[in-house]
A and B are shown apart, each in its own frame.
Chain A
Protein backbone atom coordinates (compact mmCIF):
# COMPACT_ATOMS: atom_id res chain seq x y z
CA UNK A 1 0.00 0.00 0.00
CA UNK A 2 1.79 3.13 -1.21
CA UNK A 3 0.66 6.53 0.00
CA UNK A 4 1.18 9.85 -1.74
CA UNK A 5 0.83 13.15 0.10
CA UNK A 6 0.27 16.14 -2.19
CA UNK A 7 2.30 19.23 -1.34
CA UNK A 8 1.10 22.58 -2.64
CA UNK A 9 2.83 25.87 -1.86
CA UNK A 10 1.11 26.69 1.44
CA UNK A 11 0.26 23.14 2.53
CA UNK A 12 1.13 22.75 6.20
CA UNK A 13 -0.25 19.40 7.37
CA UNK A 14 1.61 17.35 4.75
CA UNK A 15 4.33 16.18 7.11
CA UNK A 16 1.84 15.28 9.82
CA UNK A 17 0.05 13.00 7.35
CA UNK A 18 3.32 11.45 6.17
CA UNK A 19 4.33 10.89 9.80
CA UNK A 20 1.20 8.79 10.28
CA UNK A 21 1.49 6.70 7.11
CA UNK A 22 5.28 6.35 7.04
CA UNK A 23 6.31 6.31 10.70
CA UNK A 24 3.29 5.02 12.61
CA UNK A 25 1.88 2.65 9.98
CA UNK A 26 5.23 1.83 8.34
CA UNK A 27 3.87 2.21 4.82
CA UNK A 28 5.85 3.53 1.84
CA UNK A 29 4.94 7.19 1.47
CA UNK A 30 5.95 9.71 -1.15
CA UNK A 31 5.57 13.47 -0.98
CA UNK A 32 4.03 14.58 -4.29
CA UNK A 33 4.96 18.09 -5.42
CA UNK A 34 2.13 20.06 -7.00
CA UNK A 35 3.95 20.09 -10.33
CA UNK A 36 4.39 16.31 -10.53
CA UNK A 37 2.59 14.70 -13.43
CA UNK A 38 3.09 11.02 -12.70
CA UNK A 39 1.41 9.46 -9.67
CA UNK A 40 0.77 6.07 -11.23
CA UNK A 41 2.92 4.36 -8.56
CA UNK A 42 0.54 5.42 -5.76
CA UNK A 43 -2.45 3.55 -4.32
CA UNK A 44 -3.75 6.29 -2.03
CA UNK A 45 -3.58 10.06 -2.48
CA UNK A 46 -4.01 12.33 0.51
CA UNK A 47 -4.50 16.05 0.05
CA UNK A 48 -3.47 17.62 3.35
CA UNK A 49 -4.58 20.71 5.20
CA UNK A 50 -3.05 24.14 4.91
CA UNK A 51 -3.52 27.16 2.69
CA UNK A 52 -2.75 26.00 -0.84
CA UNK A 53 -1.63 28.94 -2.98
CA UNK A 54 -2.37 31.21 -0.04
CA UNK A 55 -6.12 30.53 -0.36
CA UNK A 56 -6.07 33.24 -3.05
CA UNK A 57 -9.39 33.87 -4.80
CA UNK A 58 -11.12 31.07 -2.80
CA UNK A 59 -9.81 28.16 -0.75
CA UNK A 60 -8.71 25.49 -3.21
CA UNK A 61 -9.59 27.54 -6.30
CA UNK A 62 -6.05 27.78 -7.68
CA UNK A 63 -4.96 24.32 -6.50
CA UNK A 64 -7.61 22.82 -8.75
CA UNK A 65 -5.56 23.80 -11.82
CA UNK A 66 -2.17 22.57 -10.64
CA UNK A 67 -0.59 19.84 -12.80
CA UNK A 68 -0.86 17.21 -10.06
CA UNK A 69 -4.60 17.73 -9.65
CA UNK A 70 -5.29 16.56 -13.20
CA UNK A 71 -3.58 13.32 -12.19
CA UNK A 72 -5.49 13.17 -8.91
CA UNK A 73 -8.77 13.58 -10.80
CA UNK A 74 -7.83 10.71 -13.13
CA UNK A 75 -6.72 8.63 -10.11
CA UNK A 76 -10.11 9.22 -8.43
CA UNK A 77 -12.10 8.55 -11.59
CA UNK A 78 -10.36 5.19 -11.98
CA UNK A 79 -11.80 4.26 -8.57
CA UNK A 80 -8.60 4.64 -6.56
CA UNK A 81 -8.55 6.14 -3.09
CA UNK A 82 -8.37 9.86 -2.35
CA UNK A 83 -8.72 11.64 1.01
CA UNK A 84 -8.88 15.41 1.39
CA UNK A 85 -8.41 16.82 4.87
CA UNK A 86 -9.44 20.40 5.69
CA UNK A 87 -7.94 22.45 2.83
CA UNK A 88 -7.78 19.13 0.96
CA UNK A 89 -11.57 18.85 1.31
CA UNK A 90 -11.91 22.38 -0.09
CA UNK A 91 -9.66 21.43 -3.01
CA UNK A 92 -11.75 18.31 -3.77
CA UNK A 93 -15.01 20.28 -3.87
CA UNK A 94 -13.44 22.96 -6.08
CA UNK A 95 -12.14 20.23 -8.39
CA UNK A 96 -15.62 18.73 -8.64
CA UNK A 97 -14.62 15.38 -7.11
CA UNK A 98 -17.01 16.01 -4.21
CA UNK A 99 -20.31 17.93 -4.22
CA UNK A 100 -20.98 21.19 -2.39
CA UNK A 101 -18.61 23.87 -1.15
CA UNK A 102 -16.95 25.01 2.08
CA UNK A 103 -17.87 28.57 3.02
CA UNK A 104 -16.99 31.04 5.75
CA UNK A 105 -17.80 29.81 9.25
CA UNK A 106 -21.20 31.04 10.43
CA UNK A 107 -19.77 33.11 13.28
CA UNK A 108 -16.72 34.33 11.31
CA UNK A 109 -14.20 32.95 13.79
CA UNK A 110 -11.35 30.72 12.82
CA UNK A 111 -12.16 27.69 14.98
CA UNK A 112 -9.35 25.68 16.55
CA UNK A 113 -10.77 23.05 18.85
CA UNK A 114 -11.42 19.38 19.48
CA UNK A 115 -14.93 18.32 18.62
CA UNK A 116 -17.06 15.20 18.92
CA UNK A 117 -18.11 13.61 15.65
CA UNK A 118 -20.53 10.86 14.82
CA UNK A 119 -19.38 8.22 12.35
CA UNK A 120 -22.36 7.98 9.98
CA UNK A 121 -20.86 5.60 7.49
CA UNK A 122 -18.51 2.73 8.23
CA UNK A 123 -18.95 0.74 5.03
CA UNK A 124 -16.10 2.56 3.32
CA UNK A 125 -12.52 1.33 3.12
CA UNK A 126 -11.62 4.53 4.90
CA UNK A 127 -13.92 4.04 7.87
CA UNK A 128 -14.28 0.27 8.19
CA UNK A 129 -12.52 0.17 11.56
CA UNK A 130 -15.10 2.47 13.13
CA UNK A 131 -18.52 1.30 14.15
CA UNK A 132 -21.60 3.00 12.79
CA UNK A 133 -22.83 5.66 15.16
CA UNK A 134 -19.56 5.69 17.10
CA UNK A 135 -18.68 9.06 18.62
CA UNK A 136 -15.06 10.07 18.15
CA UNK A 137 -13.16 13.25 18.92
CA UNK A 138 -10.96 14.97 16.35
CA UNK A 139 -9.31 18.38 16.12
CA UNK A 140 -10.69 21.00 13.76
CA UNK A 141 -8.85 24.13 12.63
CA UNK A 142 -10.53 26.18 9.93
CA UNK A 143 -12.05 29.54 9.04
CA UNK A 144 -13.94 28.28 6.01
CA UNK A 145 -15.45 24.94 6.94
CA UNK A 146 -19.16 25.49 6.79
CA UNK A 147 -20.45 22.86 4.38
CA UNK A 148 -22.92 24.25 1.89
CA UNK A 149 -24.79 22.65 -0.98
CA UNK A 150 -27.96 23.58 -2.84
CA UNK A 151 -31.16 22.00 -1.56
CA UNK A 152 -31.21 19.43 -4.36
CA UNK A 153 -27.56 18.50 -3.94
CA UNK A 154 -27.94 18.21 -0.18
CA UNK A 155 -30.92 15.92 -0.60
CA UNK A 156 -28.96 13.76 -3.06
CA UNK A 157 -26.04 13.54 -0.61
CA UNK A 158 -28.38 12.39 2.15
CA UNK A 159 -30.40 10.05 -0.06
CA UNK A 160 -27.26 8.39 -1.41
CA UNK A 161 -25.87 7.96 2.11
CA UNK A 162 -22.77 10.06 1.36
CA UNK A 163 -22.40 11.71 4.77
CA UNK A 164 -19.41 10.13 6.52
CA UNK A 165 -19.07 12.31 9.64
CA UNK A 166 -21.42 14.73 11.38
CA UNK A 167 -20.66 17.20 14.17
CA UNK A 168 -22.20 15.83 17.35
CA UNK A 169 -23.91 18.05 19.96
CA UNK A 170 -22.60 21.39 18.77
CA UNK A 171 -22.22 22.58 15.19
CA UNK A 172 -19.59 25.26 15.59
CA UNK A 173 -19.17 26.35 11.99
CA UNK A 174 -22.82 26.22 10.91
CA UNK A 175 -22.44 23.37 8.38
CA UNK A 176 -25.69 22.35 6.73
CA UNK A 177 -27.05 19.13 8.27
CA UNK A 178 -24.06 19.21 10.69
CA UNK A 179 -21.89 17.76 7.94
CA UNK A 180 -18.19 17.36 8.77
CA UNK A 181 -17.21 14.89 6.05
CA UNK A 182 -18.67 13.34 2.91
CA UNK A 183 -17.73 10.85 0.22
CA UNK A 184 -18.45 10.66 -3.50
CA UNK A 185 -21.14 8.34 -4.82
CA UNK A 186 -18.69 5.47 -5.23
CA UNK A 187 -17.08 5.95 -1.82
CA UNK A 188 -13.45 6.03 -2.95
CA UNK A 189 -13.10 9.80 -2.47
CA UNK A 190 -13.60 11.25 1.01
CA UNK A 191 -13.34 14.85 2.20
CA UNK A 192 -13.45 15.98 5.82
CA UNK A 193 -12.77 19.19 7.73
CA UNK A 194 -11.53 17.51 10.97
CA UNK A 195 -7.91 16.36 11.15
CA UNK A 196 -7.50 12.60 11.76
CA UNK A 197 -3.72 12.90 11.28
CA UNK A 198 -3.51 15.15 14.34
CA UNK A 199 -5.12 12.45 16.47
CA UNK A 200 -3.09 9.39 15.51
CA UNK A 201 -0.06 9.33 17.80
CA UNK A 202 -0.48 8.12 21.38
CA UNK A 203 1.93 10.84 22.53
CA UNK A 204 -0.70 13.41 21.61
CA UNK A 205 -3.27 11.81 23.87
CA UNK A 206 -5.86 10.89 21.27
CA UNK A 207 -5.73 8.23 18.57
CA UNK A 208 -9.31 8.43 17.31
CA UNK A 209 -8.04 9.43 13.86
CA UNK A 210 -5.65 6.54 13.30
CA UNK A 211 -8.37 4.11 12.22
CA UNK A 212 -8.99 6.33 9.21
CA UNK A 213 -5.59 5.33 7.83
CA UNK A 214 -5.17 1.92 9.46
CA UNK A 215 -8.49 0.70 8.04
CA UNK A 216 -7.08 0.91 4.55
CA UNK A 217 -4.41 -1.65 5.31
CA UNK A 218 -6.95 -4.36 6.04
CA UNK A 219 -8.87 -5.10 2.90
CA UNK A 220 -7.45 -2.74 0.37
CA UNK A 221 -4.77 -5.10 -0.88
CA UNK A 222 -7.49 -7.20 -2.46
CA UNK A 223 -8.90 -4.21 -4.31
CA UNK A 224 -5.87 -2.38 -5.65
Chain B
Protein backbone atom coordinates (compact mmCIF):
# COMPACT_ATOMS: atom_id res chain seq x y z
CA UNK B 1 0.00 0.00 0.00
CA UNK B 2 1.21 3.50 -0.73
CA UNK B 3 1.96 5.76 2.17
CA UNK B 4 1.63 9.50 2.11
CA UNK B 5 4.55 11.71 3.12
CA UNK B 6 5.28 15.33 3.56
CA UNK B 7 8.82 16.34 2.61
CA UNK B 8 10.47 19.54 3.79
CA UNK B 9 13.38 20.32 1.48
CA UNK B 10 16.04 22.89 2.27
CA UNK B 11 18.16 24.13 -0.64
CA UNK B 12 21.18 26.24 0.29
CA UNK B 13 23.99 27.83 -1.67
CA UNK B 14 27.29 26.02 -1.38
CA UNK B 15 29.63 27.82 1.02
CA UNK B 16 31.99 28.73 -1.84
CA UNK B 17 29.23 30.54 -3.77
CA UNK B 18 28.82 34.27 -3.17
CA UNK B 19 25.41 35.25 -1.77
CA UNK B 20 24.98 38.97 -2.47
CA UNK B 21 21.33 38.87 -1.36
CA UNK B 22 22.43 37.52 2.02
CA UNK B 23 24.99 40.31 2.31
CA UNK B 24 22.30 42.88 1.51
CA UNK B 25 20.06 41.44 4.23
CA UNK B 26 22.90 41.76 6.78
CA UNK B 27 23.32 45.42 5.94
CA UNK B 28 19.54 45.93 6.15
CA UNK B 29 19.41 44.31 9.58
CA UNK B 30 22.39 46.38 10.70
CA UNK B 31 20.54 49.53 9.67
CA UNK B 32 17.57 48.31 11.72
CA UNK B 33 19.85 48.31 14.71
CA UNK B 34 20.81 44.65 14.81
CA UNK B 35 24.54 45.17 14.72
CA UNK B 36 24.92 41.70 16.27
CA UNK B 37 24.09 39.93 12.98
CA UNK B 38 27.33 38.50 11.63
CA UNK B 39 26.28 36.74 8.46
CA UNK B 40 23.28 35.65 6.43
CA UNK B 41 22.84 33.05 3.70
CA UNK B 42 19.57 32.83 1.82
CA UNK B 43 18.24 29.53 0.53
CA UNK B 44 14.96 27.96 -0.51
CA UNK B 45 12.43 25.96 1.45
CA UNK B 46 10.31 23.58 -0.60
CA UNK B 47 7.48 21.58 0.88
CA UNK B 48 5.89 18.79 -1.08
CA UNK B 49 3.51 15.93 -0.49
CA UNK B 50 4.20 12.59 -2.14
CA UNK B 51 3.23 8.97 -1.95
CA UNK B 52 5.62 6.03 -1.83
CA UNK B 53 5.56 2.39 -0.68
CA UNK B 54 7.96 3.13 2.19
CA UNK B 55 10.45 5.62 3.64
CA UNK B 56 13.34 4.34 1.57
CA UNK B 57 11.50 4.67 -1.71
CA UNK B 58 10.39 8.19 -0.79
CA UNK B 59 13.96 9.18 0.08
CA UNK B 60 15.28 7.76 -3.18
CA UNK B 61 12.69 9.70 -5.16
CA UNK B 62 13.49 12.90 -3.28
CA UNK B 63 17.23 12.51 -3.86
CA UNK B 64 16.61 12.17 -7.59
CA UNK B 65 14.21 15.14 -7.65
CA UNK B 66 16.73 17.31 -5.83
CA UNK B 67 19.73 16.24 -7.91
CA UNK B 68 18.00 16.71 -11.24
CA UNK B 69 15.76 19.71 -10.66
CA UNK B 70 15.03 21.17 -7.23
CA UNK B 71 18.71 21.99 -6.60
CA UNK B 72 21.59 22.69 -8.97
CA UNK B 73 24.49 20.63 -7.61
CA UNK B 74 26.99 23.04 -9.20
CA UNK B 75 26.02 25.81 -6.79
CA UNK B 76 23.64 24.34 -4.21
CA UNK B 77 23.39 21.74 -1.45
CA UNK B 78 20.15 20.25 -0.17
CA UNK B 79 18.76 18.25 2.71
CA UNK B 80 15.25 17.15 3.50
CA UNK B 81 13.03 15.94 6.32
CA UNK B 82 10.42 13.28 5.65
CA UNK B 83 7.25 12.98 7.71
CA UNK B 84 4.57 10.34 7.17
CA UNK B 85 1.20 12.03 7.25
CA UNK B 86 -1.42 9.47 6.21
CA UNK B 87 -2.14 8.15 9.68
CA UNK B 88 -2.18 11.57 11.31
CA UNK B 89 -5.65 13.01 11.62
CA UNK B 90 -6.09 16.63 10.67
CA UNK B 91 -2.78 17.11 8.89
Contacts and interface: CB of A to CB of B under 8 A. Distances in A.
A150 B21 CA distance: 20
A103 B69 contact: no
B20 A107 contact: yes
A146 B18 contact: yes
Given A146-B18, A153-B74, 19 more contacts: A57-B70, A61-B69, A61-B72, A64-B69, A65-B69, A101-B74, A103-B18, A104-B18, A104-B19, A104-B20, A104-B21, A105-B20, A106-B20, A107-B20, A108-B20, A148-B17, A148-B18, A150-B16, A150-B74
B75 interface: yes
Interface in A8-36: none
Contacts of B40: none
Contacts of B16: 150
Interface of B: 16-21, 24, 69-70, 72, 74-75
Contacts of B75: 101, 103, 148
Interface string A50-94: 000000011001101100000000000000000000000000011
Contacts of A101: 72, 74-75
A215 interface: no
Contacts of B72: 58, 61, 94, 101
Interface of A: 57-58, 61-62, 64-65, 93-94, 100-101, 103-108, 146, 148-150, 153, 174
A64 B21 CA distance: 25
Nearest to B14: A150
B18 A93 contact: no
Contacts of A153: 74
B17 A103 contact: yes
Classify the interface of chain A: helix, strand, loop or mixed: loop
A106 B18 CA distance: 8
Contacts of A103: 17-18, 75
B82 to A, nearest CB: 21
A108 B18 contact: no
Given A101-B75, A148-B75, A108 B17 contact: no
B22 to A, nearest CB: 10
A57 B21 contact: no
B18 to A, nearest CB: 6
Contacts of B18: 103-104, 106, 146, 148, 174
A96 to B, nearest CB: 9
Contacts of A105: 20
Contacts of A150: 16, 74
B74 A100 contact: yes
